[in-house]
Copies of this chain bind each other. A is one copy, B any other.
Amino acid sequence: MNIVVIGLGVIGGSFTMALKEAGFENVYGIDINEESLEKAKKLGLIKEGFTNGEEIIKDADLIIISLYPRLVKQFIIDNKHNFKDGAIITDATGIKKMFIEDIVNILPQNIDFVFGHPMAGREKKGIDFATSEVFKGANYILTPVERNKEKNLELIEDLVYKLGFKRVKRITPEYHDEMIGYTSQLPHTIAVALVNSDIEGRETGNFIGDSYRDLTRIANINEDLWSELFLGNKNNLLKSIESFEEELDKIKNAIQEDDTESLRKLFIKSTKRREKL
């Protein structure tokens, strides 16, 4: 099986590493950055790298796309005459509903696009920060569409288990975006707001413990990618932010009223929920 990874950034690079460790040998890379290709080749992660992938795409049985969402559509359009008959494409995009509608409309009929989302990443960008470690034990989500072939869905499921993922769930694109709005985009929103609400000029670094460090790690955020993700899942994210604000108000009110009992109840609720995870 010839596998081509499109985009050797932090996620695409991690895919090539995990593929190598899982024993896949015919792995190729496409990127506009020649240095990334050279690095991947030097590390033995890819057999060959291409800045123009036309030729290798013609031989690809499986294409793993790790590009910013808006670039995926362009990639499909540019290559619609290059794809091998029956090729499988999968992706790593963090939003699904709007994204899938866009893609399905332009996808050649003889290509099967299995939409996926590895729930793993790093706050840094580029192949230098790629590591297969982030995949180990992580969650993977597939959002099947009607035209997907069952055998291709199973092929991707098998593959990602081999790459180290622990749990693969199939859900609808709508449910994916609702859940991700809460479990991924809301935490990123909160981390950014937390860091930005610091008063300029304080020596905050001297007064932090693990809690601040943990809650702000993802405030180090790729502004191009995440602005796309946020706006591509606007309504779900806004709903999540509003529910969060309601809970924040409950705590604020309890503090304002010196209401120990309500505070304790809110803490007991969050403790029980967190322990269940």
B134, B213, B244: the one within 8 Å of A193 (CB): B244
- CB-based contact B179/A221 at 8 Å: no
Interface residues of A in 156-192 (CB under 8 A from B): 167, 169, 176, 179-180, 182-184, 186-192
- CB-based contact B214/A214 at 8 Å: yes
- Chain A residues within CB distance 8 Å of chain B: 119-121, 134, 138-139, 141, 167, 169, 176, 179-180, 182-184, 186-199, 202, 204-224, 226-228, 230-231, 234, 237-238, 240-241, 243-248, 250-252, 255-256, 258, 260, 263-264, 266-271, 273-277
CA distance A110 to B219 in the complex (A): 48
Complex interface: chain B residues within 8 A of A205 (CB): 276-277
Most buried by B among A167, A196, A204, A231: A196
Instruction: Given contacts A119-B208, A183-B204, A183-B212, list 18 more A-B pairs with CB under 8 A.
Output: A139-B208, A192-B266, A193-B247, A193-B248, A196-B250, A196-B270, A196-B273, A198-B273, A204-B277, A205-B276, A214-B218, A215-B218, A219-B271, A220-B275, A221-B270, A223-B267, A227-B260, A231-B255
- CB-based contact B244/A210 at 8 Å: no
Q: Offer 5 A-B interface pairs, CB within 8 angstroms, sorted by A.
A: A121-B209, A139-B206, A139-B208, A191-B211, A219-B270
Complex interface: chain B residues within 8 A of A270 (CB): 191-192, 195-196, 216, 219-221
CB of A91, distance to nearest CB on chain B (Å): 16
In the complex, residue of chain B having the shortest beta-carbon distance to the beta carbon of A265: B223
Complex interface: chain B residues within 8 A of A210 (CB): 120-121, 134
Complex interface: chain B residues within 8 A of A260 (CB): 227-228, 231
Most buried by B among A169, A179, A277: A277
- CB-based contact B138/A264 at 8 Å: no
B138, B215, B240: the one within 8 Å of A191 (CB): B215
CB of A192, distance to nearest CB on chain B (Å): 4
B206, B234, B244: the one within 8 Å of A255 (CB): B234
CA distance A223 to B259 in the complex (A): 13
- CB-based contact A268/B223 at 8 Å: yes
Complex interface: chain B residues within 8 A of A244 (CB): 193-194, 197
